[in-house]
Amino acid sequence: MDFDITLYLVTDSTNLKEDVFLSKVDKACKGGVTLLQLREKERSDWEYLNLAIKVKKITDKYNIPLIIDDRIDIAMASNAAGVHLGQNDIPINIARKLMGKDKIIGATTKTVSQAKKAVEDGADYLGVGAIYPTTTKVKTIITEVSTLNDICNAVDIPVIGIGGLNKDNCDILKDSPIDGIAVVSAIMKAEDTEKAATELKSKVISIL
């Protein structure tokens, strides 16, 4: 499946009422997000699926592929475009068998060998980070930009940087052969969601 990974929004609904969360998702899509991941860690299966169905109505309106974090069952049940898998989630080769060739499978990788393995197993894109310290994923460790660059150069699928990135600090990646960036806070925590997405997108385009 074809997708544009220039500005990848990973959502966080923590402490947000559902209508406020969905409105932020809508504004972010309107502002220019190119790919959107629903990332829920605390919800029951039923709640995760329900929210995925609601978010998909919005992403469909803007023709933005919806990726579900961690859970291929929720991705398939909501007819999302794909799934994002970490090193401790369902193995990519198994996810690929279950989901077929038309779904997008993203993988979190922190080393060149993890990246090469993910590609071999059938990943469509790689997320690498955290580039900067982040309060969104507390247990993550920093990945050096040089490692991110090595990963980009070792694989032939799109690679994005993630972690603490915003429009004022993503210049650190201007010489990196990335295909886009992924953010949570820079958009989800912005006062004006649409403006944050629009400004960040033009910034990212300028450094790619």
Question: Which residues bind to Mg ion, rule: CB under 5 A?
Answer: 70, 86, 89
Helix (H, G, I), strand (E, B) or coil at 128: strand
What tokens does 123 get?
């990943």
With a CB cutoff of 8 Å and minimum separation 6, the contacts of 145 are: 131, 161, 172, 173, 176
With tokens 């947000």, the residue in question is: 16
Question: CB atoms < 10 A from the CB of 133, how many?
Answer: 11
CB contact at 8 A, 136 and 11: no
Rank residues 56 and 84 by Cβ distance to Mg ion and give the closer one: 84
The CB-of-193 to ligand TZP minimum distance in angstroms stands at 14
Binding partner selected for residue 89 from Mg ion, ligand TZP, none, CB under the kind-specific 5 to 8 Å limit: Mg ion
Stretch that binds ligand TZP, among 93-101, 112-120, 134-142, 144-152 (CB under 6 A): 134-142
Binding partner selected for residue 140 from ligand TZP, Mg ion, none, CB under the kind-specific 5 to 8 Å limit: ligand TZP
Q: Is residue 176 near ligand TZP by the rule CB under 6 A?
A: no
Q: Is residue 193 near ligand TZP by the rule CB under 6 A?
A: no
Q: Please confirm whether the linkage preceding 130 is cis (ω < 30° from 0).
A: yes
What tokens does 173 get?
């990646």
Tell me, residue by residue from 6 to 35, as one string, x for binding to ligand TZP by CB under 6 A and - for no binding. ----x-------------------------
Q: Is residue 197 near ligand TZP by the rule CB under 6 A?
A: no
CB contact at 8 A, 89 and 127: no
User: Interface with ligand TZP by CB under 6 A: which residues?
Assistant: 10, 129-130, 134, 136-137, 140, 162-165, 183-186
